[in-house]
């Protein structure tokens, strides 16, 4: 029996917790939360145990750059039907389940690759997982916005983030515990242990698959394609070739020349890697441009799919549109840049995988969910922008606590805590305090930010506009985060954490600048 995900626009007298769509997002959020840590945090520890350098390990975070360019294929998700699936499941559900199956396949590909024997194959598998996961996010975000009225979006965001965090603990804390339990440690590397762990993660994705089969298609999410299927397929082929041009440039580029030594060498590697990345992006752009000029791509389709959503946004917000995009671009830069290196930092400080998993994932999960619900409550009372500004201040302050943690070192206060799945874990009190503040800040800021970006979206361009916003949100932070290992090697952890904190300061002033102007514009409309 299918679960209806269509919510009436009249919510009077109906508590939010009785709306089925709220709880549907909990399970879809779980499905969306699993892949990111498998290429963002957990994989870093796998690579380190396999003997891959810290700098190379953090470069793998670029595998989720697909999240930052997902607006490129969002119109395909919005319009292109999937043979057999769309007729049976509907436009949104067919794309959700298609992306979930692609995620499972990519996880299994990673599981069957030993990075010690074939690091390139692991990189390709991680990139595939990044693209599949980003596609899942595109369609789940569109489903979330289309399945409920604006008044309910904050609570959908809250339960979605809660499910997302539970998915992250599955791919983080539980995955690390499984890998250690199967026999892989920092002293003794076991590929089979990591292989079994990723098999379990692939099986966990079935929760999302079952949920997708039970829910119904949102009414506004069903549309007929505006152009023949061949036009979308040609565009998909051109996009795939462009991606191959990017990947080929990265793989075929010469290794970093060893022209310098010491700290200067790390800085040179940073600059050289940046040049290679932009060269790859340039190659992808040239392929797309050349294909467009040959007539393979329907230019009218491109204009309708890409230009109209952008023009609509600028028409609605005028001169403020640029400032809004800048806020989206920089809002999460501080916590994303720090998050890339967090697990490696904990390991370098001498903490075991069990301690890292229990504190940063299990304990941190509870705190982040609490922060998410507090954000929803405060946003309803004081407004989203005021909540965003308070969250931005809190993120900067909590990131500074990591500097204090580096000074504590091994001179910490040991305590014992009994946690489900982990048993009794010995952990430093200082670590628990930092992780508590950090996760509360992340949960608090993320919910407010998602609700705010959803309010900027025009329902006529749901998937494409929100994909643009979320892509901009992660683009610059992910690029900088890919260099976090190199920055730590060059400047040390304390200076890196100071740098990550300072990145969030301009955001505070930008929100202050926008608050009164947006309130004035909203009042006039």
Helical axes 191-204 vs 206-214, angle rounded to 10°: 10
**pTM metric for this prediction:** 0.75
| Domain membership flag for residue 174 | yes
Token pair, residue 227, equals: 């152009």
Q: Is 138 within the bounds of a domain? A: yes
| 352-361 CB burial, b ≥16 within 10 A, e <16 | bbbbbbbbbb
Contact between 109 and 125 under an 8 Å Cβ cutoff? The reply is: yes
The answer to whether residues 227 and 83 touch, using CB atoms and an 8 Å cutoff, is: no
Radius of gyration of the chain (CA): 22
Q: Which residues contact 17 (CB under 8 A, 6 or more apart)?
A: none
State the Cα–Cα distance between residues 367 and 354, nearest whole angstrom.
18
Cα–Cα dist 274/278, whole Å: 6
Q: Is residue 218 part of a domain?
A: yes
Q: Strands 414-419, 423-428: parallel, antiparallel or unpaired by DSSP? A: antiparallel
C-beta separation of 356 from 347 below 8 A: yes
Q: Mark whether 42 and 165 lie in a shared domain.
A: yes
Q: Which two tokens stand for residue 464?
A: 């494409």
Quote the number of domains for the chain. 2
Choosing from 297, 330, 357, the residue where a domain stops is: 297
- 3 state DSSP class of 374: helix
Strand, coil or helix: 500: helix
Final residue of a structural domain among 297, 329, 355? 297
Rounded-to-integer distance, Cα 74 and Cα 145, Å: 15
Residue span of the structural domain in which 272 resides: 228-297
**154 and 289 belong to one structural domain:** no
Same domain, 37 and 102: yes
Identify whether residues 365 and 501 lie together within a single domain: yes
Contact 10, 158 (CB under 8 A): no
CATH number of the domain within which 32 lies: 1.20.1250.20
The number of angstroms, rounded, from the C-alpha of 384 to the middle of its chain's C-alpha atoms is 21
Residues 288, 212 within the same domain: no
Can you give the pLDDT of all 525 residues of the chain as single tens digits? 344 344 334 444 556 566 777 889 999 999 999 998 898 778 888 888 888 776 565 566 566 667 767 887 787 787 778 888 988 898 889 999 999 999 999 999 999 999 888 888 888 888 889 889 999 999 999 898 888 777 777 788 888 988 998 898 889 878 988 998 999 887 889 999 999 999 999 999 999 999 999 998 887 644 555 677 777 778 778 877 887 887 788 777 776 655 544 444 555 666 776 787 788 878 888 888 887 777 777 777 777 777 888 889 999 888 899 999 999 988 888 887 887 778 778 877 777 766 776 777 667 778 888 998 888 778 777 877 888 888 889 888 888 888 888 877 655 566 666 655 556 666 677 788 888 898 899 889 888 888 888 888 887 788 888 888 887 887 777 777 767 777 787 788 888 888 888 888 988 999 888 887 776 666 565
Q: Do 37 and 94 belong together in one domain?
A: yes
Q: Are 180 and 354 in contact (CB under 8 A)?
A: yes
User: Could you tell me if residue 8 is inside a domain?
Assistant: no
* 400 CA to centre of own chain: 23
How far out from the chain centre does Cα 435 lie?
A: 19
- Residue 55 within a domain: yes
Q: Please, are residues 66 and 475 in contact by the beta-carbon 8 Å criterion?
A: no
- Same structural domain, 199 and 267: no
User: How far is the C-alpha of 139 from the C-alpha of 206, rounded, in Å?
Assistant: 17
């Amino acid at each position: 029996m299918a679960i209806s995900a269509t919510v009436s626009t009249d919510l009077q007298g109906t508590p939010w917790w009785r709306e089925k769509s709220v709880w549907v997002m909990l399970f879809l959020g779980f499905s969306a939360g699993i892949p990111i840590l498998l290429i963002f945090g957990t994989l870093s520890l796998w690579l380190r145990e396999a003997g891959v350098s810290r700098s190379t390990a953090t470069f793998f975070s670029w595998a989720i750059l697909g999240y930052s360019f997902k607006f490129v294929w969002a119109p395909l998700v919005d319009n292109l039907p999937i043979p057999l699936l769309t007729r049976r499941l509907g436009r949104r559900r067919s794309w959700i389940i298609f992306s979930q199956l692609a995620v499972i396949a990519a996880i299994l590909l990673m599981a069957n690759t030993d990075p010690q024997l074939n690091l390139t194959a692991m990189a390709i598998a991680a990139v595939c997982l990044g693209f599949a996961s980003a596609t899942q996010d595109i369609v789940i975000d569109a489903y979330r916005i289309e399945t409920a009225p604006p008044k309910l979006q904050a609570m959908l965001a809250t339960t979605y983030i809660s499910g997302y965090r539970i998915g992250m603990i599955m791919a983080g804390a539980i995955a690390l515990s499984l890998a250690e339990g199967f026999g892989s440690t920092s002293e003794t590397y076991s590929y089979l242990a990591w292989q079994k762990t990723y098999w379990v993660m692939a099986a966990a994705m079935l929760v999302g698959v079952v949920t997708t089969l039970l829910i119904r298609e949102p009414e506004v999410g069903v549309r007929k394609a505006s152009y023949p299927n061949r036009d979308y397929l040609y565009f998909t082929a051109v996009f795939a070739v462009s991606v191959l041009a990017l990947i080929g440039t990265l793989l075929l580029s010469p290794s970093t020349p060893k022209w310098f030594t010491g700290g200067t060498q790390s800085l040179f590697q940073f600059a050289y890697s940046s040049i290679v990345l932009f060269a790859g992006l340039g190659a992808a752009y040239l392929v797309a441009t050349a294909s467009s000029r040959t007539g393979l791509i329907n230019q009218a389709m491109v204009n309708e799919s890409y230009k109209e959503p952008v023009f609509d946004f600028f028409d609605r917000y005028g001169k403020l549109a640029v400032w809004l995009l800048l806020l989206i671009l920089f809002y999460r830069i501080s916590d994303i840049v720090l998050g890339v290196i967090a697990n490696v930092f904990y390991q370098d400080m001498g903490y075991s995988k069990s301690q890292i998993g229990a504190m940063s994932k299990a304990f941190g999960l509870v705190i982040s969910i609490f922060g998410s619900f507090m954000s929803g409550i405060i946003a309803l009372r004081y407004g989203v922008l005021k909540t965003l500004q308070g969250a931005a201040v809190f993120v900067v302050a909590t990131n500074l606590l990591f500097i204090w943690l580096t000074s504590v070192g091994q001179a910490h206060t040991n305590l014992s805590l009994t946690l489900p799945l982990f048993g009794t874990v010995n952990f430093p009190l200082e670590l628990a305090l930092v992780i508590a503040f950090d996760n509360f800040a992340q949960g608090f800021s993320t919910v407010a930010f998602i609700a705010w970006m959803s309010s900027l979206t025009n329902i006529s361009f749901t998937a494409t506009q929100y994909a643009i916003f979320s892509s901009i949100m992660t683009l610059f932070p992910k690029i900088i985060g890919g260099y976090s290992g190199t920055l730590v090697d060059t400047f040390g952890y304390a200076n890196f954490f100071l740098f990550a904190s300072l990145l969030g300061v301009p955001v505070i002033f930008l929100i202050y600048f926008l608050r009164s102007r947006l309130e004035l514009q909203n009042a006039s409309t």
